[in-house]
Amino acid sequence: MPTAVTLRADDRSAADRGPLAQAEALQPGLAPATPSGALLQAELRHTQRLPAGLSLHGNVLLAHQRLQGGAGNDGSRVNELDAALDLGPWQLSAGKKVLGWDVGYGFRPNDVVQQETRRTQFGQTPEGRPLLMVEGFSAESTLALVWANPQRWNQRADDQRGARESALAARAYTRLGGLDLHGFARHGRHTGASTGLALSWVAGDALELHASARVFERHDGWTTGPTDRSLQATNPWQQQTLGGGSQWLLGGQWTGGPRLSLLFEAWHDGTALSDAQWRDWGTRNRALATLAQQAAWRGAAAGNLAWQATPFGSASLRRDNVYARMAWQPEDWTLSVDALLTPADRGHIVSAALQWTGDRWRIDAGLRWYGGPAASILAQLPTRRSALLAATLTF
């Protein structure tokens, strides 16, 4: 049973000014940044082969976290627990399983089952999705049919938003020379139909190009409804089933000596808030900041400003994004620098990471900065800087 134990320390820095002063500068300091802390994890993985082509696979994460100024809390979970039956060119699977699709690195329009969070500062096994799956294989093609979250099919829409939605999905893959072609289809219980295509092409010894696109009938997104800019008694931000749209990504990677790689991607996410919605968001911040100057409304205004952080949990904050990454890998070391840019308001996230890998040990260190003009969305996130140090032992 392979086991990996990770000890991780995180340090996060929020804005230096108080919440109301931040609000005046369009930096509402909404929910406070995640406090600094330490996290101890043990990941247990095992696959058991049984007769008649049957196998059982499990991945369990044991985690305990202690945050600065607070008590410890348990974050243990079952990442994967599934059974598979091998029938030659066909394979059946059932249980909780990580199933990531698509060809992008920073963003994946057709990751319609796992819907994995991308560009995390420390990569680890994500939590899988309950599913039933049939896969067929041939020399140059594959076909997968999936029912994700079957246990939620009859639940109301508010109980199955995003990756928790019960959905039927399919993926077809074939290879034509140096071109990899992928086709996707999905029918969500309340978001309806979507279809997508993706391709990757090895254009030479050092260059790879890829693209992905998806159109959807409906999607889950944040909306404030027809509220005005006065104080609200409840959070005006709610997730609802909204209309159709599209997502797409274009990218490429160049690999050259000495052990250097460059990645560039640009994408559009039609599920993110529109420019008009972000303008309304900023206007409401200013109105709430004005109310906060009046002693009688100070507490209520602070609460309303905190609710303004609700859409920060979206996969993409702005619809149009540009991403670049450079990595250098000499021997046992990997040094990488990457940047996410939002052209609409010139916000940015810049990250630097250093990794050393030995026979059993792996050391990770990373820094991340959030910034841009004062009115940009990324500059208004509660966290300004974050640092990470992790040590992983495999045995």
**Per-residue pLDDT, 249:** 98
Q: What tokens appear for 51 in the block?
A: 């007769």
Among 240, 245, 241, 222, residue whose Cα is nearest residue 109: 245
pTM of the model: 0.89
**Per-residue pLDDT, 4:** 67
Contact predicate 246/268, CB 8 Å: yes
For residue 289, the tally of other CB atoms under 10 A from its CB is: 20
> Residue 375 is inside which H or E element, if any?
none
3-state secondary structure of 184: strand
> Residue 299 is inside which H or E element, if any?
helix 298-307
**Per-residue pLDDT, 292:** 83
Buried b (16+ CB within 10 A) or exposed e, 359-379: eeebebebbbbbbbeebbbbb
Q: What tokens appear for 352 in the block?
A: 């630097």
CA angle 47, 138, 171 (to 5 degrees): 75
**Per-residue pLDDT, 17:** 36
Kindly give the parts of the chain with pLDDT less than 50.
16-31
CATH placement of domain 3-394? 2.40.160.100
Give the CA distances from residue 354 to residues 292, 325, 332, 362, 370, in Å, rounded to whole numbers and listed in that order. 43, 13, 11, 11, 19
Pairing of strands 320-328, 260-269: antiparallel
**Per-residue pLDDT, 129:** 96
C-alpha–C-alpha distance, residues 361 and 215, integer Å:
43
